[in-house]
Structure formats: C-alpha cells, structure tokens
Amino acid sequence: MTQFYPLLGPLALWLAAWWIDRGMPDRKARMISLSAAGVSLVATLAPGLVLRSSLLPAAIAATGLVAVALSPLVRTGPGAFAGILQVLALSLLATLGHNPLVVAIMGAGTAWPVWRELRAHEFTRGLARAFALYLGSSAALMILGALLSSQGYAWPAVGVVLVGLAIRMGLVPLHSWLPALVESAPIGLSVAFLAPGVGLHLLSLVAHGFPGQTLGVVSTIAVVSALFAAAMGAGQSSARRSLAYLLMSQSALLVVGGLESAGDPPGPWLLVQVAIAGFAMAIAGLEARRGPLSLDRPSGNFARLPRLATAFLVLGLAIAGFPGTIGYVAIEHLTGEAGSLSIALRMALLAATALNAIAVLRGFFMLFMGTAQHQGEQDTTRRESLVFSALMAAVVLAGVWPAITWLPSTLSSPWVGHPDFQRITDRPTR
C-alpha cells in the first residue's frame, strides 16, 4: 500500500492548484496551498518510503511547504500560489520517476507555471520571453539527451544533457536568467522552481553514460559557478540580487554534493536546501514589511524585528556552513571526504563558502542594524514564528547530531554497481 503514498502528494497539489485557479481571496488561497503542501510532505515521508528511495522528494515537499507558509500576500497572489503547487507537483513526479525521458518531461513542465506567472504581469513580460528562451532550450536539450541515452548513444547524450542541466541550474555562463527571475518574480515561486532536485535526479539516471573524466568536468564547472556566484553576491547593493547569487552558489554546491555522493545529494545537503528556502522567505517577509531592500547602508532596527532578524541570521549562517549547523556538516563532507575533488577545487569550495558567509553577515548588518528609526513594521506572526522556529531547530539539531540526516538514500540509486560509483565510494574513511 505504501507504494501509492507518494502519488497522494502530487494529486493533492494539482487539485489545490486547480481550485485556486478558479478564483478566491488571497488568504484562502494560501490556506488551501498550505494544506496541500502539508499533505505532500506527509506523503513523501510515508512509512518505509525512505528505505527504498532517496530523501529528495521529502526535501522538495518541505521546500514547497516553507515557500507557501512564508509567502507574504503583498507580492504573492492566488496565481502565484497555484504556480508554486504546480511546480511542486511536477517536481515530485519527476524525482519519484526512474525513466530519464519521463523525468526530463516533468522537469521541463516545471517552467510552465513560472512562465505563466511572469506573463500575467506587464512589468515581467519581457522577462517571460527571456525565461521561455532559456528554459525552453533547456527542456529541449534534456529531453533530447534522455532520448539519446535510452537508445544507447552515451557520448552525444553526455553533452546534450549537461548543457540542458547547466541552463536549468544556472551554472556559469548560462545563468543570466536566474538573477532576473529572483529580482522580479514572487520569491516563493522562485524558491520552489530553483530547488535543484529535478536536474540532479536526471543526472543520476543518465549517469551510466558518463565517463569518469566527464564527471570531473561537471564538478569543476559547478565549483567555478559556486565561487563566481558567491563573489558576485557578496558585493550586491540589492537584497534580492544578493539572494539570487546566493541561491545560484548553493545550487552549484548541491550539484557537487550530488556528484560526490554518486546520485541524489545526501541528507545534509537536502536539509541545507530547505534552510535556503527559509532564508529566502525571511527576505520576502522583510520586503513585505519595508518595501524594496537596499544593502547600500545600514537601515535596520534589531529591537523592532528580533525574531525575523534571528531567523535570517541563523538560517543564513547554516547555509554558509557555520559550525554547529547542518551546513557545516555538508561543507565538511565535500572539502574533507570528497575523494574525487582536487585540492584546488576544495580550496575554491572553501572560498565560496567564506564569500557566502560574508554576503549573509553583510545582509544582516545592513537590513537589521544601524539605526534607531523604523517604519512601524511588525515582527513575525504566529505562523511565521512557528515555521522559522522549526527550521532553526532542525538545522541546529542536525548540525549537533548529524547522524540523523545520513539515511540510506542511495539504496535504489541507479549509480549503484556502476564502476564510477565504486571509484568514488571506495575510498578510505578518516
């Protein structure tokens, strides 16, 4: 019976999205979206599911739940809530699948709700055209690569899939659409779409056609992307644009984490993904209270927003790998135990992590410190406090006791038994 539980999540999400699209007030749309996202999370955590597959579907469902629960109504209407649910439903179906072509089609479909939301507003219609160009090309390449892989054309599939995935995950130099999306679209919708689970899952499914040298090239490109994005994010004057580059850097690090774990990312990296969603929604909540956020000068008052400021700082430091958080465990895994990474790449990862930490701390001091004045903004609501408290407790508990995140997520991975899997995993432990 448990084999049907995962399908309950996408079904609930689609039904809720259909209901919301028929028209309703903003608050009711959020309530229905929150209920559907909760059902999807429970369904992905059904008894016995984690023993047969990875935790990736649960991480995607948790990311969606955070995005829905913390989306402010100022910039998120019923259409955006419906789009978040549709993106989640397609992402879950993709990551639950084991056929590369089905995964590629479902992954391509996640771009449609985002494009529809961008197309619905006059000020984002230009972005909608650029988004369609980039993500349409990515979808075509991933589907073509999956077809070539299924027909046994390994080498052509390698290049085609990699280019498609590089666009979808915003790797350098095919990343220009990503900062523009985060700057203009509802942050909750951006967070749901940018969760990199679909691309990583497709990569693991077609990995049997990837020579070991190609995996090294992908890791190198991802590390360079992480370092570039971290450097860009640390110097931005706009909070949204800084967030965009932080998301881009973390997405690239998740690519490396997926490759180094020979499949879907391990538990620590997946929990970091959920923390990223919480951090992004903290910025969305502050923006809803204060308006456009600038990082040019200190303009915050910690005493006015202590709970929101604490959530921003704790989740941001967790993303940046601060000791005592799950981010430290994830970064230590890459830099200390990833045997296929060279010393230079490990140093680049450390540099990217340091720059991400600088971006987080700079954002904290500019947004929550520096002045006794305020605009009368209120601190977190009960709903926001509950979600942020749960996220902070999770990242700290998992950082102190990381064993709870290392579940057998590779038991059903298509990499198992492949020579490159043995090359990566057969290494001495420290």
pLDDT for the residue numbered 308: 92
Q: How confident is the model at residue 370 (pLDDT cuts 50, 70, 90)?
A: confident
Q: How far is CA 386 from CA 243, 379, 381, 383, 389, in A?
A: 23, 13, 9, 5, 5
pLDDT for the residue numbered 316: 92
Rounded to an integer, what distance in angstroms lies between the CA atom of residue 3 and that of residue 236? 46
- Which of 103, 45, 194, 47 minimizes the C-alpha distance to 414? 103
- Three-state DSSP class for residue 294: strand
Rounded to an integer, what distance in angstroms lies between the CA atom of residue 191 and that of residue 77? 16
- Three-state DSSP class for residue 372: coil
pLDDT for the residue numbered 67: 92
Rounded to an integer, what distance in angstroms lies between the CA atom of residue 403 and that of residue 130? 43
- Both structure tokens of 197: 């689970």
Q: How confident is the model at residue 313 (pLDDT cuts 50, 70, 90)?
A: very high
Q: Is the pLDDT of residue 337 over 80?
A: no
- Both structure tokens of 201: 């899952």
| The residue to which tokens 């303009």 are assigned | 299
pLDDT for the residue numbered 281: 93
Q: How confident is the model at residue 406 (pLDDT cuts 50, 70, 90)?
A: low
Domain boundaries, the chain: 2-425
Neighbours of 151 (CB within 10 A): 10
- Three-state DSSP class for residue 176: coil
Task: Identify which has the larger pLDDT, 289 or 414.
Answer: 289
Cβ atoms of 251 and 194 closer than 8 Å: yes
Q: How confident is the model at residue 134 (pLDDT cuts 50, 70, 90)?
A: very high
pLDDT for the residue numbered 218: 76
Read off the pTM: 0.85
- Three-state DSSP class for residue 428: coil
pLDDT for the residue numbered 390: 92
Cβ atoms of 169 and 78 closer than 8 Å: no
Cβ atoms of 407 and 55 closer than 8 Å: yes
Average pLDDT over residues 185-210: 74
Q: Is the pLDDT of residue 37 over 80?
A: yes
Q: How confident is the model at residue 52 (pLDDT cuts 50, 70, 90)?
A: very low
pLDDT for the residue numbered 307: 92
Share of the chain above pLDDT 90, in %: 20
Please count the CA atoms within 13 angstroms of the CA of 375 that sit on its side-chain side.
13
pLDDT for the residue numbered 320: 86
Which segment of 116-120, 214-218, 239-243, 253-257 scores lowest on mean pLDDT? Answer: 214-218
Rounded to an integer, what distance in angstroms lies between the CA atom of residue 245 and that of residue 236? 9
In sequence order, what DSSP letters do the residues of 288-342 get, joined into one string?
HHHSS-B-SS--B-TTTSHHHHHHHHHHHHHHTT-TTSHHHHHHHHHHHH-TTS-
Task: Identify which has the larger pLDDT, 154 or 399.
Answer: 399
Q: Is the pLDDT of residue 154 over 90?
A: no
pLDDT for the residue numbered 417: 39
pLDDT for the residue numbered 412: 39
Rg (C-alpha) for the chain, rounded Å, is: 20
- Three-state DSSP class for residue 185: coil
pLDDT for the residue numbered 7: 78
Helices (H), 151-266: 154-168, 177-184, 187-194, 197-205, 212-233, 239-260
Cβ atoms of 141 and 163 closer than 8 Å: yes
Rounded to an integer, what distance in angstroms lies between the CA atom of residue 254 and that of residue 257? 5
Q: How far is CA 180 from CA 9, 107, 125, 130, 348, in A?
A: 30, 20, 12, 10, 26
Cβ atoms of 71 and 186 closer than 8 Å: yes
Cβ atoms of 234 and 377 closer than 8 Å: no
Average pLDDT over residues 56-69: 88
